[in-house]
Chains A and B, each alone.
Chain A
């Protein structure tokens, strides 16, 4: 009896403790602790900016597809043989070339931009954060437009104002929601969204951002110029290139560059308006990718680009080494002042403004030739000037992923068409102007799951 009385409080305490533990096991707060400090559900402007500051994704996770398919380079047989089948198809303009990687890379960039946008829009704007809010949103819109634009250039037909409304464009994914239905918009809607988003970005972005991995107002103008050029809308392209150069127009003098250096340029150099690189691909990795000998020979002896851009191998072949990214395994695809000078020059020439066009191209070339050897180019007509500008454009922007886009728009225009040829282990492949193979197939894995419309093959 006595014993029992003595035990009761102890028993009660024990039961109480037991109840506490039972209570704890259903306690929400205890289990709401963050499992990993590095993990977060994105909710702040800092999170939205951190998503965009992912350099490996938003400044580097882009396909080199244009480079793989263009006529500035070729591969030796053993290097061709070691390519994956998909890369081989892209290289030889196979009718089944689909390029799964390009699609996944670009829509990864779209997802980052969308999640960043959603995060930004969930943050209330007030006087303390307005500047930052606008900046982040502007960058996100820029990135999404940049990715959409490339999807359109690889997976939709070249832009033609008269048919764009009835041509399939690209899926415009505008949210991060997994359950949102996916279908292709028309080409007109696609480009309207891309240019519309960029024009909004122009309003939101500051005049400069540091580092230049973050796009600012000049980058948005520059991208608009590039896009309007591929749409063969030279009036807008020229205007936006001019707006861009109004804000930033520095050029490097190649006389101060070490011509023997393996990687003569660094990232964030003086000409870079917005830094962006495509991912390395064994098809375009230097020195595997060999520069087309006609292109190489088109550089004059005193043109410094000949030595700065190219290395020569034992077998006499040439490889590109002059990317604006300080490495030989990525290729610069961002926006730089040299491209803007060339866009403005081209648009001026097309509008018949011969003097302005020659002035722009000479401003650029003067910085590219050995001091004291440069003779300014002249042209009898705006059309002659245009030919010179297009040739300089190819020389200046080689390995920038612009050649493929130029081939597409020039074919569509019909004045400067070329037929591309590849010799693969004795087999000759040709790509004629306007061929439907200038547009890749949407990867079957995408069609298989989403059921979206496939591109046609003639």
Chain B
């Protein structure tokens, strides 16, 4: 029982027989008002219902009496009223039933809502309280760390969501996303998270197979907020300001200090490594300033003393300081959301408005997004309900920042002593595309300045993408008889993205093109590309519709039975068109354009060869159509035995694939037993015990396959510009969709006293007919063909436990998530004949090999360095330093399978501590049982491409070093086979375990603040994310979650929520 502040002890006469008790009812953990909570007076036997702000008033007829407050999913509050309240309000905070944090009893599949107690499938529901703990501008990233069985892979630089691991090898791994009952075709980032009511993840076949051929990767069902009938006007306001640190460029191990780098350049210079580049007058390859100085010193144009002084100066620079200072900033993100809703008996409405203004970490980048969602539901008659929804998103994304400073050509990055500005802050030039010695002098007076000054580019950049998206939904529900509903619904979406990348005449891009395409016939100059700006335009448009007819039936049958069933059909049509192109000689002020000759070859400036003006007009037009019929039914007997089944058939217009049209229907079957409701069994300890089991099939679609020989028509390329065609594939009439069979066994339980509850699930998944490129005789004209040629199996466990640790004024709840997933590729024809050495790699790309985990990390066996600093490997079991032979001829005995790079164990521990109006919650996530490969030195790439790695500093230099290091000695010339061998040897593998402080949320809620005649609730919150690791298994300071990229930097949000 929780009564927070009962300030009613004024000694007042108790003779008064009639007074009103009033107050508010909120959830103790989220402080959300609990509208529709039931308030009952025990003695007076009167009942009332709280309004949507949680406000109630009830008349007391006699004293003493007891107030009982109840609300679904919460423990009933009992408050004894011994004496008059003297006009003081009661502020009742309801405690959620343990085991209910993040779990609600009603789940949505996108076709129907199910009572979880009667469901047979695996559903994971994230309610708004849990969802809104986090602060973000997008919906999906909030699911990380709070969703059982959901793994978010960030190693690729993007958030890849995997529901229970991998079900396919070559098709998309993305789960199907349903927004308000229909697959969402636009960019899910268009949806404002403040508009989300709840999210349900459908994990097994019984839950997801109603989505058929596209549900193989699981389904994420997002339901947005809706207006409610019979609710007073409710206004909610949420605003947050988020501040983030700059990225830590010093985290990266891809760096060598300037001094060491210049030492290396001096050594290579003495070996004559740069001589060809320095004398190449046909392509003027980029060389570094240190090499220019050394070259001048050798030519005698700079004295030895001056050269030494200049090099000494360069040694003191560090490009990372300049990048952090000039290219990055601490961004500020602003979020505002306003929600207005309410309803009468026949009308319910909601309007949600949102605005985000997000600066990027890169100076020059920002995004603005405006979102609107309106929902109106009308019940013109008792049997008819009409619903109309409109989503509108308008966003602008500006990407003017410079995120990969590169000299282009074969250089991957700049030398470590590059400078962006001088001491006074003036922009400095860096060599780009061609050697500085050439750019400095080329066409003096005739050409435009040819220097590349990154900081100036930042000023002139003008790269914008503007999106507008409209989504209209309508539905009509007719209920001819109780229990039977006929739904007709549809949606139409139109989304337009306009891209504009304008190169001002002052930008390097425009100047460089102009200069390059200038030539002289000895007397006069000709400009193949006119002076002026260059404009890259792009435009893409999505227009999509879906129509659905659905019959649903929900009826008590006899005394003990309950039948729910749906049957429906739908069509879906997605049409995507696009156009992109480039305009030369463009004047942004007057919108004038100068035509160019795209056809003929012209000399490039100097000795740089011949070229045609790059032509980039491109059009696209893609149409995807699906038709589906489906049905499911569930029968529950005596409220405790449930049987369910579903069936679905999909067809599509994918090219020529007969299987699209005559595919086998996908089906599922499931059963559940609610032991606690079974009158034949009495359970001493449990207040809930539910057993579930299901079996069924889902599919996976790959859009780019065809069964007949097809060609792709394409616009011509230089030098002919004739329309041309590519052959996509050979005839393969046997192609069919991928199939995923899932078995799921689950147990939901709650102990008496309701302090401990949870869910345990075991699943087994078998993916068959997976598409994979299979080697064929190259004499056929292709060396591989996409065939249904791979199988994979996997199984795993998802565990979720909720425990109320403290249950007093200080309340402490904990939720533990633990998942285990493992996969084995059982068949993969595509890699059958590959040599073992070809499987050694970074481990971040899928590496399918029969009998192994699809993300198996495979290494060359490594036996340390020998006493000359050469790494020792194995060939045929014998130690060797013949790296070319190892790389080409290694047997499996010379290789080591290290483990998987995808964590098999992962989960989180969320703690929520509340005390009066305060609440502190923090989430700790973990990943165990995997390995990863460090990047290391690659001498070939270091010499040729300036590819740096800190391991360089640990390289073998003197005999004896082999006892303390595994980094090979530098050799000149470099041996690319040695580089490959060492990079992919056992020496660069580390254990990948980590424990992360995912986020912290601290908030304080003030209830029932008076404002004029009304009351409102105010919450202030602070939220911190990207707080870093608490523990990691590796000793290199690497955060393996981010692969070879930089970890996200610390962000802190300050926010305010108000409810009127």
B609 at the interface (CB under 8 A from A): yes
Which of B272, B279, B655, B975 is the one whose CB lies under 8 Å from A39?
B655
| In the complex, chain A residues whose CB is within 8 Å of the CB of B654 | 35
Residues of B within 8 A of A56 (CB): 717, 724
Is the Cβ of B780 less than 8 Å from the Cβ of A178? yes
Are B719 and A55 in contact, CB atoms less than 8 angstroms apart?
yes
| Residues of chain A lying within 8 A (CB to CB) of residue B730 | 176, 178
User: Which chain A residues lie closer than 8 Å to B652 at the CB level?
Assistant: 31
> A251 in the interface, Cβ–Cβ < 8 Å?
no
Task: Check: B725 CB closer than 8 A to any chain A CB.
Answer: yes
**When the two chains form their complex, are residues B570 and A262 in contact, meaning their CB atoms are under 8 A apart?**
no
Do B282 and A328 touch (CB < 8 A)? yes
Q: Is B142 interfacial (CB-CB < 8 Å)?
A: no
> Which residue in chain B gives the minimum CB-CB distance to A173?
B779
Q: Are A7 and B621 in contact (CB under 8 A)?
A: no
Instruction: Name the contact of B629 in the complex, choosing from A25, A28, A30, A176 (C-beta under 8 A).
Output: A25
Contact between A115 and B651 (Cβ–Cβ < 8 Å)?
no
Contacts of A328 in B (CB 8 A): 282-283, 609
CA distance A51 to B775 in the complex (A): 24
Residue from A38, A111, A267, A327 whose CB has the most chain B CB atoms within 10 Å: A38
Cβ-closest chain A residue relative to B972 = A78
Judging by beta carbons under 8 Å apart, are B651 and A31 in contact?
A: yes
Instruction: Tell yes or no: A32 within 8 A of B by CB.
Output: yes
Which residues from chain B contact A448 at a C-beta distance below 8 Å?
A: 833
Contact in complex: B569, A21 (CB < 8 Å): yes
CB < 8 Å: which of A42, A47, A173 contacts B780?
Answer: A173
Query: Out of A21, A46, A78, A176, which one reaches B571, CB within 8 Å?
Result: A21
- Cβ of A418 under 8 Å from chain B: no
Say which residue of B283, B709, B725, B976 sits within 8 Å of A262 (CB atoms): B283
Q: Which of A101-109, A130-138, A341-349, A375-383 contacts B (4 or more CB under 8 A)?
A: A101-109
Q: A31-B653, A262-B282, A445-B775 are in contact. Are A326 and B601 (CB under 8 A)?
A: yes
Q: Assess A38 versus B620: contact at CB under 8 Å? Given A30-B571, A31-B652.
A: yes
Within 998-1049 of B, Cβ neighbours of A (below 8 Å) are at none
CB <8 Å contact, A51 and B727? yes
Select one of B629, B727, B887 contacting A111, CB under 8 A: B727
Closest A residue to B610 using CB positions? A326
Chain B min CB distance to A84 (Å): 9
Nearest CB to that of A56 among chain B residues? B717
Given contacts A17-B488, A31-B660, A115-B709, contact A446 B779 (CB under 8 A): yes
State whether the Cβ of B154 lies closer than 8 Å to any Cβ in chain A: no
B97 neighbours in A (Cβ, 8 Å): none
A206 to chain B, nearest CB (A): 16
Instruction: Please report the C-alpha to C-alpha distance between residue A211 and residue B548 in the assembled complex, in whole angstroms.
Output: 54
Bound complex: CA of A427 vs CA of B278, how far in Å?
Answer: 30
B709 x A176 contact (CB < 8 A): yes
* Main DSSP-derived SS at the B contact region: mixed
| Cβ contact within 8 Å between A38 and B276 | no
Q: How far is the CB of A256 from chain B (nearest CB, A)?
A: 12
Nearest CB in chain A: distance from B213 CB, A? 13
Contact with A along B21-41 (1 / 0, CB 8 A): 000000000000000000000
The answer to whether the Cβ of A11 comes within 8 Å of any Cβ in the partner chain is: yes
A147 to chain B, nearest CB (A): 10
The tally of CB-CB contacts under 8 A between chains A and B is 252
Does B383 lie within 8 Å of A81, measured CB to CB? no
Among the stretches A161-169, A291-299, A309-317, A361-369, the one at the interface with B is A309-317
**A315 and B275 form a contact (CB under 8 A):** yes
Cβ of A177 under 8 Å from chain B: yes
Chain B residue with the shortest CB-CB distance to A442 = B779
A213 and B719 form a contact (CB under 8 A) = yes
Smallest beta-carbon distance A184→chain B, Å: 10
A53 CB contact (under 8 Å) in B625, B703, B723, B731: B723
Let me know if A10 is at the binding interface, CB within 8 A: yes
A260 located at the interface, meaning its Cβ lies under 8 Å from any Cβ of chain B in the complex: yes
Q: Flag if A41 contacts B709 (CB, 8 Å).
A: yes
| Smallest beta-carbon distance B923→chain A, Å | 43
Nearest B residue to A327 by beta-carbon distance?
B609
> Does A449 sit within 8 A of B, measured CB to CB?
yes
CA distance A262 to B605 in the complex (A): 11
- By a CB distance below 8 angstroms, the chain A residues around B282 are 262-263, 287, 311, 321, 328
User: Contact between B724 and A54 (Cβ–Cβ < 8 Å)?
Assistant: yes
Residues of A within 8 A of B727 (CB): 51, 111-112, 115
Known: A51-B711, A315-B276, A449-B775. A35 touches B480 (CB 8 A): no
Q: In the complex, what residues of B have CB within 8 A of residue A22's CB?
A: 549, 569, 629
Chain B nearest CB, measured from A411 CB (Å) = 27
How many Å from the CB of B678 to the closest CB on chain A?
38
The closest CB in chain A to the CB of B888 belongs to A85
Instruction: Give the docked Cα–Cα distance between A407 and B703 (Å).
Output: 50
A213 contact from B609, B720, B785, B973, Cβ within 8 A? B720
With an 8 Å Cβ cutoff, the count of chain B residues facing the other chain is 87
Report A-chain residues with C-beta under 8 Å of the C-beta of B976: 81-82
Residues of B563-585 whose CB lies within 8 A of A: 569-571
Q: Which of B711-739 contact A (CB under 8 A)?
A: 711-714, 716-717, 719-720, 722-728, 730-732
A303 to chain B, nearest CB (A): 21
Residues of B within 8 A of A37 (CB): 620-622
Question: Across the two chains, which residue of chain B brings its CB closest to A8?
Answer: B480
Which residue on chain B has the smallest CB distance to residue A77?
B973
Q: Is B777 an interface residue (CB 8 A)?
A: yes
Give the chain B neighbours of A77 by CB distance below 8 A.
973
Asked if B719 and A287 sit within 8 Å, CB to CB, the answer is: no
Cross-chain contact B717 with A50 (CB below 8 angstroms): no
A51 to B888, CA, bound (A): 36
Residues of B within 8 A of A11 (CB): 478, 480, 486
Is A207 engaged at the interface, CB distance under 8 Å to the other chain? Answer: no
* Given A81-B973, A108-B782, A326-B601, A50-B728 contact (CB < 8 Å): no
A40 within 8 A of B: yes
A352 at the interface (CB under 8 A from B): no
Give, as a whole number of angstroms, the nearest-CB distance from A234 to chain B. Answer: 32
Chain B 574-608 against A: per-residue CB contact (8 Å), 1 yes, 0 no?
A: 00000000000000000000000000010100011
Q: How far is it, in angstroms, between the C-alpha of A446 and the C-alpha of B974 when the chains are bound?
A: 34
A178 touches B621 (CB 8 A): no
- Within residues 263 to 286 of chain B, which ones have a CB less than 8 A from any CB in chain A? 272, 275-276, 278-283
Whether B651 lies near A25 (C-beta < 8 A) is yes
Which of B608, B725, B777 interacts with A54 by CB under 8 Å?
Answer: B725
B656, closest chain A residue (CB): A41
- The answer to whether A313 and B279 touch across the interface, beta carbons within 8 angstroms, is yes
Chain A contacts of B781 at CB under 8 A? 107-108, 110-112, 114, 173, 176
Q: Mark B777-805, 1 if CB is under 8 A from A, else 0.
A: 11111110100000000000000000000
How far is the CB of A3 from the nearest CB of chain B, in Å? 8
Among A34, A78, A263, A445, contact of B623 (Cβ-Cβ < 8 Å): A34
Q: In chain A, residues 103-146, which have Cβ atoms closer than 8 Å to a Cβ of chain B? A: 103-104, 107-108, 110-112, 114-115
Q: Mark each residue of chain B from 163 to 202: 1 if its CB lies under 8 Å from any CB of chain A, else 0.
A: 0000000000000000000000000000000000000000
B653 touches A33 (CB 8 A): yes
Contact yes or no, B712 A38, CB < 8 A = yes
Known: A55-B720, A262-B282. A314 touches B275 (CB 8 A): yes
Q: Give the 9 A-B CB pairs with smallest separation, nearest first.
A: A111-B781, A262-B282, A25-B627, A78-B973, A50-B725, A314-B279, A37-B621, A18-B549, A53-B722
Q: Please list 12 pairs of residues, one from A and one from B, whose beta carbons are closer than 8 Å in the complex, sorted by A's number.
A: A32-B653, A33-B653, A36-B620, A38-B714, A42-B710, A107-B779, A111-B780, A178-B731, A266-B610, A313-B276, A315-B275, A445-B783
Contacts A7-B383, A287-B276, A313-B276 given; 9 further ones with Cβ under 8 A?
Answer: A11-B486, A24-B627, A33-B625, A35-B703, A54-B724, A55-B720, A262-B283, A313-B275, A314-B276
Binding site for B on A (CB under 8 A): 7, 10-11, 14-15, 17-18, 21-22, 24-28, 30-42, 46-47, 50-51, 53-57, 59, 77-78, 81-82, 85, 88, 100, 103-104, 107-108, 110-112, 114-115, 171, 173, 176-178, 182, 211, 213, 260-263, 266-268, 275, 287, 311, 313-315, 321, 326-328, 443, 445-446, 448-450
